[in-house]
Each structure stands twice: as structure tokens, then as C-alpha cells.
Amino acid sequence: IGDYVSMLPPKSREQKIDYLLSSDVFILPSYEEGDSIALKEAMSAGNAVIISEQCRLNLVEKENAGIIVKTNKNSIKDALLDLNNLNLKEMGENSKKIMLKYFDNEACSDRVFKIYKDIHTGSLSSNDWIENNED
């Protein structure tokens, strides 16, 4: 696996962009993750992704942009092996589409506005909104 997988030390912004653009897959096996900028950068660069359940981005599997795994080495290994049978180029394109559809500035501001509107009008409580919008 060492012939195909690289574990890299910290990089400058320019180096990071070069690495992401020349990569096929980005792996984030986090035990606890909030809103990962690294994951979004990798997806914006067109990488298929392997992420742990703790990353809480169900769109990855829903939109066929990657694989969600448990945080153990066997799950990660199996996902890497499964990628051999999947279309990485298509998954990478789907990653880009997710970023444009859900995470560009306009999409984010629209979602925040909808949250406030739903809560303000009483159509949904804050807890109801979160439960209905887990993607």
C-alpha cells in the first residue's frame, strides 16, 4: 500500500493546492470532526473521499462522492480496496458538484436564511430543523 498512499507532513498553501489537485482520493479517518475545511478543500479539488462517520457528511455517499467508514483500520483498508472497483473520476466530479451545490457562499447563505425563517415563523423548531436536515 505504501506504493500508492502517501502520508504527508504539513504543507504551504500552494503546496497543499498542488497536492490536492494531483490526488485521486482524500482520506479523513477522524474520531471527532466538526466542519472540516480540509475535507471541503479536497472535495473542491475533485478528490473522491473516504471519511469516517464522525465527519457527518452523508452527502458523500448519497451523491456518490466517496465512502463513509468506521474509524478502524480494517474499514479504511476495505474502502481503499473497494475504490479499485469504483469510478474515481466520477466520484471526484461528484465531490466538486457537492461543493458548488451546498457549500458555495450563496448556497450557505440561503440555508442559513431558511433556518432563521423556519424558526422565526414557527414552521420548525431548531431541533426539528436539525433532525430534518442532517445531510
Query: Model pTM?
Result: 0.75
Other Cβ atoms less than 10 A from the Cβ of 10: the count is 6
- The alpha-helical segments, DSSP class H, found in the chain are 13-22, 37-44, 59-62, 73-83, 88-102, 105-121, 126-132
CA distance 58 to 47: 16
What confidence tens digit (pLDDT) does each residue in 39-51 have?
Answer: 999 999 999 999 9
Q: Is the pLDDT of residue 62 over 70?
A: yes
Average pLDDT, stretch 70-97?
Answer: 89
CA distance 42 to 19: 9
Q: Which candidate, 103, 127, 86, 90, places its Cα nearest to that of 41?
A: 103
Which has more confidence, 73 or 94? 94
Which residue segments constitute the domains of the chain, with CATH numbers given?
Answer: 1-103 (3.40.50.2000), 105-135 (no CATH)
Q: What is residue 103's predicted lDDT score, i.e. its pLDDT?
A: 81
